[in-house]
Structure 1
Amino acid sequence: MKKILITIAIIITIALVLIGRIDRTPIHTTKEYKTTLENTHQTIKKIQKSVDAVDTLKIGWSAQCIIPKGVPLAVAGYGFRAPYRMVRDSLYARAFAFDDGVRETFVLTLDLMIFPIEVRKRLEEKLKTIGLTGNDIMYSATHTHNGMGGFDPSLLGNVAMGKYSEEATQKITNAAFEALKDARKNKVKGSIGFLYSQSPEWVTNRIVHNGRKENSIRGIKINRVDNKSAAIVTYNAHPTNIEMNYWILSRDYPGAWVKNLEKSDKIDFAAFCAGMVASHGPANPNNNKDCFSKLENMGKVLSDSILNIWDTTPTESIVSTIIEKTPIHFRPSQVRIEKHLKVRDWVFKSASGGLEGDITLFKIGGINWFAAPSDISGEIAIDYKYDEIANAKKEHFMMTSFNGNYVGYITCDAYYDTLANFEIREMNWVGPEYGAYFGDIIKELIEN
């Protein structure tokens, strides 16, 4: 009997050490929310005090391959997977440089699941050698589920993204750095405009059957005086057309989309940044049986949507470009075990490094481009009516994910206790009411 009691006591002790209760304190009353809101107001003051551009915008771009030669790397996507066996289409770092005569700003997107935290940290050390900082860069990723892994040294990263590889991490970092330098070196005077179209047939709500979906195509049109043109495009469907039993590297539909744009007679260079993908997946309106036919068809339709509006989309040449990053303060992590129980924060920190991130805002002319440190849901943009708020100011809204940190999924708060989907349970690391938390910050920044 004594041994049984000791065993029970040990089990209870271990449970208390490892398991805690979900914190349901109303988010708006927390010190973390109030501190972040103050950070937001400081960001607004910086933007309001910024000096306007007085000269024609200069723009450059470049791409560099990020795949290291001869290194066996796991395919990153759908959880732990084996090393890739072939390259269907190569993976790149794609960079844009903007110079408004007052400031230099940059966009950098990678053909990977996320923008790796380790790569960002190393890259920002290298940026110091050329007079730049991480605050000058808008980060993103295509979110392909058939990119390479091996770029996250944490325990969670080794499990989810494949065994850590120093060679891969350094290759990605170096390629990103070279792409930024090359884009900066090749700037030419030009102009930019806001691209907007819709493609409801190629996106679906993957959390709620027949649920709401944000089906917009958004992007930036770039024309230069040397008759070269480029596009940055975004869409809200997960790049998950390729099934997980293919051990190949591929950019999925974003690669097909970019390829078709660059093959056209209108656009010389293009890049894709994952949009508000948290609750959105790719649809299959043509009922393609083959996943590769599906992604190619999807890329063609999305490409045509941009090319059809290209000539009628106006551009401006004298525009300000400002990047500001608003730090987010997080409560202790809340990775759920069941409805009211979670893994304690120290366990999560030990496995992943913890929660850290910001809301990035890239104001380029009248375009308010936000980037989240997460998968973020397009349903939040619908609920908050971001387009209406921006349009009332004669401005535009766009939003992307994976801005150089990663804190899991940010979805509608109404789903937190009503759905048991993977996206809502296992991939929500922050706890209840963070849809409203992120939503409020973005709304405040658009309005002011």
Structure 2
Amino acid sequence: MANSSCMKFIFLCLLLYSSLAALQNSDTNSTNKLSVDETKLIKIEDTSGLSEDEVRQVAKKIDKKEAKKNKEIKKRVRWEDLSPTPVQSDWVETKSGEWFRGKIKGLYNDKLEFDSDEVGVYTFDLDDIKAIKSYQILSVNIENLASISGILRLDGDKLTIIQGDEKYLFPKSQIVSFAPDAELERNLWSGKITFNLDIRSGNTKQADYASQIALKRRTARSILAFDYLGRISFKDNEEIANDHRINEKYDRYITRHFFWTPLFSEYYTDKYKNIKHQATAGFGLGYTLIDTKKTLWNLSGGPAVIYTQFYTVETGHNGSNYSPAMELSTKFERELSAITDFTYDYKLTFSDRDAGVYKHHMIIKFENDLTSWFDLDFTAIWDYVDKPTEDAQGIKPKSSDYQFLVGLGIEF
């Protein structure tokens, strides 16, 4: 039986890796771009010895030359052709001709996150952006080529990265991502906290408390994400639920669609499912199946190991165990309207009998913008374990747990 489980585990690993490799090769062969070793992108640093302010002065001179050139071509500059000079702030122009002043937080999957004093944190589609003039030094990931730090200028489909002694030109289509080359670590982080509270009284007194926390550290070439989901419930002053889940995922982007995950992990505890501690760690690959203006769909997965410690077990059974596992996950995001986003997040894990054989964690969420930083969220959660472990009294927990949450979220 052990050999059979092992062979299934190895087969699933080979199947996932061969499928994702085929997708990557198909994407690479369909493009006519520079071919390099994608796992070793060159990082081009500014070796001029100039300070950040001096590099900005270089960028300012280049801006003036471009403006003079445009003036000579057009003979007469129209008001809508003028653009602001970045002073202490970044500037973004939309295709409608509107300029926004603020701070670039990062661009990933063709979504630019921008923090403006007027509109707060706002996400632009890259296709809707006509021009970008950065004040910050940004680290830009160019597909299949390099990561370059410098002042960023985007004009239509032309991208320019300015360093002290060099100026690099690329088409807009080769941008994978960019983010501030921040001196302060906090500039790389963003997140959201959602609080859910349900209190009932009358024939039954019940109180349900739940919270969700999502944190991300984003650079031009990677995303480190932490997610927490916790719930505590009381009925007639007696605790009836107490579970907590922490997920971590570190993705390294190689191309616009292909990424690898050096480490994903999860810690889970559920008093009423007889799980005192459960830790999962693994690595894998990922691929973006759909990446359009309003839709994003990713698939990822890889081999893992699970350690489980139970509260109590029947006599003759181990109180803890290690299990090889295979984890597959998918995330689908869809912009339904200007204020409503839909997310489907599904994670599937295969393991041995003592770890539950098969389990999944599914989240369906509708996020509704009340303001630029304040949301009303509706969340449905389904957790399932195929073979839950009986406790010392022989009581077997139910396989499925369902939650429906209505909460207020704060973005930062």
Q: What is the TM-score of this pair, normalised by structure 1?
A: 0.21
State the structure with bigger RCO (CA 8 A, min sep 6), 1 or 2.
Answer: 1
Report which of the two has the higher share of strand: 2
Q: Which has the larger radius of gyration?
A: 2
Report which of the two has the higher share of helix: 1
Q: What is the TM-score of this pair, normalised by structure 2?
A: 0.22
